[in-house]
Chain A
Amino acid sequence: MNEIFQTLKMYFEYPFVTYALIVGVLIALCSSLLGVTLVLKRFSFIGDGLSHVAFGALAVASVLQLSNKMPMILIITVVCAVILLSTGSEGKMKGDAAIAMISVSALAIGYLLMNVFASSANVSGDVCTTLFGSTSILTLTPNEVWLCVGLSLTVVIIYTLFYNKIFAVTFDEEFAKSAGTKAKSYNLMIAIVIAVIIVLAMNLVGSLLISALVIFPALSTMKVFKSFRAVVISSAVFSVICAALGILISIVYSTPVGATIVAVDLSGFIFFTIYGALRRGVS
């Protein structure tokens, strides 16, 4: 154990490890906040769908040889998020079908473009890294870190300021509308925020594993807590701890960062499930 602490102490002296922890924790925090809303609105797979859209956007940006790909990925992902989410319950094509269609199309087109217009010698490696996020979080520049911090802070502020409205639109959109809440506007806002989080989260866990960051914290804490506020706060804590733990385990034991974080999330989910069952059994 002492050896592990000594190793971690040495690793913390490398700036890219600090950057990874800061960004990883902030992304996990933002994902968990919106994850509660998505799970309750039965849009759990939106993270997966939008991440595939982001992958497709990344492929287009690579083909166009843009030096800074983030703006293009953000714009395309936001547009798709708005199409999928802002119609709320009024959309002609319901959530799961729309997500599936856009998701697989973006993934296929993205992979096709990356192969046909390959911009590097190792296409498989680039695709693998983008899909699974093996070391992306550990290769951030200071500018990227500040961008992530800024965007994460914006998400947290928006969530805190509009907490009551988000709560109303999440649980009963029809009632919220009849009470005078502009449900469409808040759905649009949620859609944009989710898109931003998905694009940031691609750096942490890769495109294929983003859903874990969104779903696991909410589902785990719902096993124990019942109120919306308690679930939101506990899922934020859960997500931050699992992300930090996952990053540290991966750098010490040389495991892929994204998969390790998801494995820690899964372990947490199992623990909370057992704890919740025991608590219900006792009471």
Chain B
Amino acid sequence: MKKLITLIIIISLVCSMTGCKKRKDVIPKVDSNKTDTLQEKEPIKDDSKGKEEKEHKYTDEDVTLDMTKLSTTMVFSQMYNLLAEPKEYFGKVIRIKGNFDSQIDPNNNKRYYGIFIMDSTACCTQGLEFEPYAKLKYPEDFPEIGDEVIITGEFNTYKEGDFNYCNLIKAEITKIS
């Protein structure tokens, strides 16, 4: 009888730790009106000089997940979650701080841009591809490889060949160092 009571107490304690409660979304649902506004925005044209605006200016209110405010361990884990659960983040505006890189895929001769972050022991790296908002020229309009940058963009998934990929589209690049 004593053992049964002890068992019930232990199971109750364990279950209370795993109990579910309604948690407010850490990533709030994207307002569809806001999304439409972002999608419809054209690069601002400076008629006087005939040059296109090279950046899309995201405000702090536009950003739904700001990873620049998280610790290295949290950023690495969140990045893993972005790639493991892409449906949760589709269409959300995400801001990430990391190191810039760019490579050409020899299979299709296409240049890709990415941002990379390391874990706390610096032995593991994760990265996310991004597409700049406006047509930028490489390398003049881009940071140097390895430069620390902040990328803000809309999370997206796409299919290329047989594989699904994740990236940030309409990305804004802010160089830090």
Residues of A within 8 A of B72 (CB): 254
Total residue contacts A-B, CB cutoff 8 A: 95
A26 vs B15: C-alpha distance when bound (angstroms): 11
B89, CB-defined interface residue at 8 Å: no
A14 contacts B3, C-beta separation under 8 Å: no
B174 within 8 A of A: no
Contact A255 B77 (CB under 8 A): no
- Tell me, in angstroms, the Cα distance from A17 to B23 when the chains sit together: 13
Main secondary structure of the interface of A (DSSP, over half): helix
Closest chain A residue, CB of each to CB of B65: A14
- The chain B residue with its CB closest to the CB of A257 is B73
A29–B137 Cα gap in the complex (Å)? 56
In the bound complex, what is the Cα–Cα distance between A281 and B120 (angstroms)? 43
Interface code B39-77, partner A: CB below 8 Å = 1, 0 otherwise? 000000000000000000000000000000111111011
Chain A residues touching B, range = 35 or more
Q: Which residues of A contact B22 (CB under 8 A)?
A: none
Task: Decide yes or no whether B144 CB sits under 8 A from chain A.
Answer: no
Given the interface contacts A163-B3, A251-B71, A257-B73, does A128 sit within 8 Å of B121 by beta carbon? Answer: yes
Least CB distance from B155 to A in Å reads 16
* List of A residues within 8 angstroms of B80 by Cβ: 135, 138-139
A157 at the interface (CB under 8 A from B): yes
- Give the complex CA separation of A15 and B26 in angstroms: 8
The reply to whether the CB of A37 lies closer than 8 angstroms to some CB of chain B is no
Contact of B120 (CB < 8 Å), options: A139, A163, A256? A256
Residues of A close to B120: CB separation below 8 A: 134-135, 250, 254-256
The answer to whether A251 and B84 have CB atoms under 8 Å apart is no
Q: Does B24 contact A (CB under 8 A)?
A: yes
Are B18 and A13 in contact, CB atoms less than 8 angstroms apart? Answer: no
Given contacts A139-B84, A156-B14, contact A122 B121 (CB under 8 A): no
Contacts of B1 in A (CB 8 A): none
Name B residues whose Cβ lies closer than 8 Å to a Cβ of A.
3, 6-7, 10-11, 14, 17-18, 23-24, 26, 69-74, 76-78, 80-81, 84, 119-121, 123-125
- List 18 A-B pairs, Cβ < 8 Å: A13-B23, A13-B26, A124-B123, A126-B124, A135-B73, A135-B76, A138-B73, A138-B80, A139-B77, A141-B84, A149-B18, A157-B7, A157-B10, A160-B10, A251-B74, A253-B71, A254-B120, A256-B73
